[in-house]
Amino acid sequence: MQPSQQPSQQQSERRSEGQTERQPLEGVTVVSVEQAVAAPFATRQLADLGARVIKVERSGGDFARDYDRAARGQSAYFVWCNRGKESVVLDLKQDADRALLDRILAEADVFVQNLAPGAAERLGLGAEALRARHPRLIWCGVSGYGDDGPYAAKKAFDLLVQCESGLVSLTGTPESPARAGISIADVAAGMYAYTGVLTALYERERTGEGSAFDVAMLDALGEWLGQPLFHGLYGSAPLARSGARHPSISPYGHYRAGDGGEVFISVQSDRDWVALCEKVLERPELVRDPRFADNPLRHIHDDELTAIIEEHFAAFGADEALERLDGAGIATARLRSVAEFAAHPQLEVRDRWREFDTPSGPLRGLLPPVTVRGREALMGPVPALGEHTDAVRAEFSGAREGAEGGR
């Protein structure tokens, strides 16, 4: 019997609690030699969909475990990216542990790694070596800059890739660049690794063969920078840093109200522009003002337009301004802190929060964004370092080494 057809312990526990729905990736086994954020973020998505994810850690653990102690003594990064996995501590430079990993891989469907450049190949875990032994295996490598070129061996972390991609040149104020507020290069690469695995699994269903693919953080972030890239290549000038204002659409950003509060609005079309002028600003003549005839002109004259909007908003508090804008069909938002987002009424009404277990007790987390009707993501426990080592050793101690023909 193939282990990949067996439900994991986590799936069995959910079924015993009355949650009997079958998960989309139930029966898929993922082995990940991973650390930090990009690869762990990808494999956590697979775990949420029901895959069994065996996370191989060194004796000191994934170094992301020690990034901070914010989540009840645990790293906020680690609990974010590693729920639902099994933690197995192996020393891959020791023959016995390396042989154990080979036995696990012989039964696996997917292998993911984001080791330092060249490390996977030195350990015999490169794409060619593994797929020669296991033709049905899907191999995914995540790196900073790709496997060749002058930056191939360069260490890559999120902020550094943000800098190299040009993203930091776009964020911040005109006076000072700034890092994006989240690990966006890691997240971008993780999402492409995740979707790449799903694509490869679908392809294998039709061909019977696995495949190998790579994701570079620089390439992933480059794709997400498509609009400023094309603007810079073919526009008259590169986009300038604009703080919390949009760099090429106007009015789009924050505007001060009479009580000192700020209102965020977005005018995306001429129809919205007419509604803003006639229903909110009560100045219909602005619709035909040659300074504001279309969006490129409005953006050129953004300072003048901002003064007009804020002069009108000076008569209202932020709440009343938002009410008037909403009544006119203008897109608006409040500037919330992360803590205020956690208490967002939309999340509460839609029941988006769940508890999941961790070594230091339960934590609250948001359900994954894809909501499948009639089924809920697993959101399994965050593993303690090496929590599953003994069980996995026992499970694979008698497995056939090499698994003839591979999976």
What is the C-alpha separation between 233 and 225, in angstroms, rounded?
12
| Dihedral angle of Cα 234, 236, 241, 244, to the nearest 10 degrees | -90
Between CA 63 and CA 73, with CA 67 as vertex, the angle to 5 degrees is 110
115-138 b/e with 16+ CB inside 10 Å = b? bebeebeebebbbeebbebbebbb
With CA atoms as reference, report the closest residue to 305 among 328, 334, 283.
Answer: 283
- Predicted local confidence at residue 248, as pLDDT: 87
pLDDT of residue 10 exceeding 90, the answer is no
Mean pLDDT of all residues belonging to the chain:
90
Residue 34 near residue 9 (C-beta atoms within 8 A): no
Range with the poorest average pLDDT among 5-14, 32-41, 57-66, 346-355: 5-14
Residue 48 near residue 368 (C-beta atoms within 8 A): yes
* 142 SS3 class: strand
H-run or E-run covering 230: helix 226-234
pLDDT of residue 405 exceeding 50, the answer is no
Catalytic option among 231, 246, 254, 301 = 246
- Predicted local confidence at residue 20, as pLDDT: 54
Q: What is the mean pLDDT of residues 336-343?
A: 92
- Predicted local confidence at residue 34, as pLDDT: 97
Residues 6+ apart with CB under 8 A from 133: 105, 106, 402, 406
Rg of the Cα atoms in the chain: 25
pLDDT of residue 1 exceeding 50, the answer is no
CB-based burial label for 5 (10 Å; 0-12, 13-18, 19+): exposed
With CA atoms as reference, report the closest residue to 22 among 375, 367, 379.
Answer: 375
- Predicted local confidence at residue 373, as pLDDT: 86
Query: 19 or 387: whose pLDDT is higher?
Result: 387
The three-state (H, E, C) secondary structure of 388-399, written as one string: CHHHHHHHHCCC
For the domain bounded by 252-334, which CATH number is listed? 3.30.1540.10
pLDDT-based confidence at residue 21 (cuts at 50, 70, 90): confident
201-252 pLDDT, tens digit per residue, is: 999 999 999 999 999 999 999 999 999 999 889 988 888 888 888 888 999 9
H-run or E-run covering 189: helix 184-207
What are the residue boundaries of the structural domains of the chain, listed by start? Answer: 3-225+352-396, 252-334
125-169 pLDDT, tens digit per residue, is: 999 999 999 999 999 999 999 999 999 999 999 999 999 999 999
For this structure, is 344 an active site residue? no
Helices and strands, counts by H and E, the chain? 18, 11
pLDDT of residue 18 exceeding 60, the answer is no
Percentage of the chain with pLDDT > 70?
93
pLDDT of residue 13 exceeding 60, the answer is no
Residues 6+ apart with CB under 8 A from 256: 262, 263, 310, 313, 314
pLDDT-based confidence at residue 12 (cuts at 50, 70, 90): very low
- Predicted local confidence at residue 384, as pLDDT: 97
Residue 146 near residue 219 (C-beta atoms within 8 A): yes
Residue 48 near residue 194 (C-beta atoms within 8 A): no
Between CA 335 and CA 336, with CA 192 as vertex, the angle to 5 degrees is 5
pLDDT-based confidence at residue 9 (cuts at 50, 70, 90): low
* 385 SS3 class: coil
252-308 pLDDT, tens digit per residue, is: 999 999 999 999 999 999 999 999 999 999 999 999 999 999 999 999 999 999 999
pLDDT of residue 17 exceeding 70, the answer is no
| CA distances, 219 to each of 149, 159, 264, 402 (Å) | 13, 15, 32, 35
What is the C-alpha separation between 357 and 37, in angstroms, rounded?
20
What is the C-alpha separation between 137 and 209, in angstroms, rounded?
8
The three-state (H, E, C) secondary structure of 252-305, written as one string: EEEEECCCCCEEEEECCCHHHHHHHHHHHCCCHHHHHCHHHCCHHHHHHCHHHH
- Predicted local confidence at residue 238, as pLDDT: 82
262-286 b/e with 16+ CB inside 10 Å = b? bbbbebeeeebbebbbeebbeeeeb
* 243 SS3 class: coil
65-97 pLDDT, tens digit per residue, is: 999 999 999 999 999 999 999 999 999 999 999
With CA atoms as reference, report the closest residue to 210 among 221, 218, 202.
Answer: 202
- Which residue bears the tokens 């508890």? 355
Which CATH class name applies to 3-225+352-396?
alpha beta
Q: Is the peptide bond between 345 and the residue preceding it cis, with omega within 30 degrees of 0?
A: no
- Predicted local confidence at residue 235, as pLDDT: 86
Strands 262-266 and 331-333: antiparallel
